[in-house]
A and B are shown apart, each in its own frame.
Chain A
Amino acid sequence: MQEFLEFTLGGIAIGMIYAAIALSLVLIWRGTRVLNYSQGGMAMFTTYVAWVVISHTGNYWLGFVLALASGLVLGAILERTVVRPTEGKSPLNSVIVTIGLLIFLEGLAGIIYGGQYRSFPVAFSLKGLKLGGVALGISTSDLFTAGAVLAAALALALVFRYTAVGLRLRATAFRPDVARLLGVRIGRVLTLGWALAGLFGALAGVLVTPTTFLYPNSMDSIFVLGFTAAVIGGLDSPVGAVTGGVLLGVVLSYAGGYLGSDLVLVYGLVVLALVLMVRPTGLFSAAAARRV
């Protein structure tokens, strides 16, 4: 029982990281129908920004905020410079461009910061929390991770639901042609989508890196699991992204805890296969039976 509680809470905490990556992928997919393979690379790069700021100023929060801000800017710049020209071409072109971006960002990080593993600080204590003498298996830092992603996701939901910008984002994702006819500046909205995605990726990077160390490929496996989470949840659904992330985190935590951690990725594949066999477009996609 004790173990079960620990695995569950720990799984939720790491699942929120996958959720943040998944959210960033969903934001881009909904708006531009692009699978952004460079998301992990972008997150890694912004985490380096945070690392530089923190190691120079000693101020974690300054680094945290600057990482998020640089995520916003990086997302917007990349969309405008290299992703926009692939619009209207075969979707695989944008896939290869984002793969190229990933490779470029990883190389660039290696050039600027070197390939060695760097430790990255945490905002809060890593000491395990206890509730009435029962160890919970999570720390204040994990609570912060989960809280930060949840808060960001909630803020995103509020923006989507209650603001004019959110309405434009939704309209563009739903019917770009009609949105354009009604005066939405589609180009700006797409850039905004990428910027927001960059922000969520940056958030995930800063939150997860204390456990993985920082190096040019540090976000690769996190990206794969975040992608998996997005696919599980349904790439069109932000709610699905969060659900998929938490589900994947918890299941992998159980699998790692009870069955051993060597085959965690295989269990991830099994979860993904099971979900997709039942629902080929993820848990939360608008159910659309293919009419054949």
Chain B
Amino acid sequence: MTLLRHLAIAIIVALVLAGVSIQLGGYRDYQMAEVAAYVTAVAGLTLLLGLSGQISVGNGAFMAVGSYGGALLMLHLNWPLEFVFLAATVIAAAGGAVFGIAAARLRGPYLAGATLMLAVALPTLADQYAGVFGGDQGLSTSITTPAFLGATFPPTRWLAWVTCACALITLVLLANLGRSRIGRSWRAVRDDEVAAALSGLNVARLQILAFVVSAACAGLGGVLLAVVTGIVAPGAYTLTLSIGLLTAAVVGGLGSLLGAVWGSLVLVLVPTYLTNVAASHGLSGAASSSVPIAAYGVVLIVVMLAFPAGIQGGLRRLFGPAAPAAAVPFNALRRRRPATEHEEEGLHEKTT
């Protein structure tokens, strides 16, 4: 039933988006495609952060894995687009599995540190093996509009359709996953690892699975973004990207797929908007490029202080029923302090 409901919603949204994209101009269509690519990646991350309670500051690295994998298949094997997307997802998922297994014992800031290092280290490989990855120039990943749409069909609209379709499919799959047994198990692990393990859940396997899912989404998002921008180059996969994904997930609202959409909109549209505002106020030179950056920082801080549960949480508080669903508990990040001997004794006395 849930699957059917999610599918119905997705189809309606798809029709609306298609209608909207026809109304929009080329540049807006491009932005729409960009947002859809980010939504795909952020949705996976929000699942990791919000449901399984792990942190990743390095999902940009998995985006890089997906997009480079997809680009190589596109260039050398001429795979059709849908297989390229699928393969990029699988490749990134494999990368996520490797990292997830290696990092299964890490918690909180240690996981953050490891993923942060992954995010900055991995793109340097593209420079090192320039023969394969095209070095600084990168690889071209531009796609052509299929013939059946006619020669006059705007390419950006096609990009918007492709990316939105992928994003919607991803969201439907993730929404179902989140409500499945696996999703419930993730929540259990997030809220109390020890209790979850006692109930027979394999904590390590669940956490690795969450990493795999988030990496797969990042890989798909990465290859989508590559197709949108028409190029894969190491310059796109900086720390800024990874931090941007994390920001979008948290600002949008942790654990909420709709939040991933809000977060991605903020990530793409707010900097552009601020740049336009700065330009229209006649700022020039260094100030015109720096004012939007500073303002974006302020936006992040203000949103976080005003809506501690993210935009989605804030909306729920404003418009939704008075459900206490606002803040997602997020215990896993705080490293559990081991109970002292004294405390354990106390516990023992109470139970006996």
Contact = CB atoms under 8 A, between A and B. Distances in A.
Nearest to A109: B290
Contact of B110 (A97, A101, A276): A276
A100 B301 CA distance: 5
Residue of A37, A104, A277 with most partner-chain B CB within 10 A: A104
B73 to A, nearest CB: 24
Chain A binding surface SS class: helix
B254 to A, nearest CB: 7
Contacts of A108: 290, 294
20 contacts: A86-B305, A90-B329, A91-B330, A91-B334, A93-B304, A95-B112, A96-B247, A97-B304, A97-B305, A100-B297, A102-B297, A107-B290, A107-B295, A108-B294, A110-B289, A115-B290, A231-B114, A272-B117, A280-B105, A288-B338
Interface in A88-121: 89-93, 95-97, 99-111, 114-116
Given A227-B116, A276-B103, A110 B125 contact: no
Interface in B108-127: 108-110, 112-114, 116-118, 120-122, 124-125, 127
Contacts of A263: 124-125, 128
Q: Which 6 A-B pairs have the closest CB atoms?
A: A107-B294, A104-B297, A110-B290, A100-B300, A107-B293, A231-B113
Contacts of B246: 95-96, 99
Contacts of A181: none
B310 to A, nearest CB: 9
Given A92-B250, A114-B286, A103 B109 contact: no
B194 interface: yes
Given A100-B300, A105-B297, A231 B197 contact: no
Interface of B: 49, 55, 102-103, 105-110, 112-114, 116-118, 120-122, 124-125, 127-128, 193-194, 197, 203, 239, 243, 246-247, 250-251, 254, 285-287, 289-301, 304-305, 308-309, 327-330, 333-338
Nearest to B248: A96
Given A91-B333, A273-B102, A99 B294 contact: no
A109 B286 CA distance: 10
A231 B106 CA distance: 11
B113 A227 contact: yes
Interface string A59-95: 0000000000000000000000010011001111101
A231 B300 contact: no
Nearest to B327: A90
Interface stretch (A11-19, A125-133, A142-150, A216-224): A216-224
A114 to B, nearest CB: 4
A110 B124 CA distance: 26
Contacts of A290: 193, 336, 338
Contacts of B103: 276
A170 interface: no
Contact of B194 (A227, A265, A281, A291): A291
A29 B251 CA distance: 22
B300 A90 contact: no
A92 B194 contact: no
Contacts of A227: 113, 116
A96 B300 CA distance: 7
B335 A281 contact: yes
Nearest to B124: A265
A233 B52 CA distance: 26
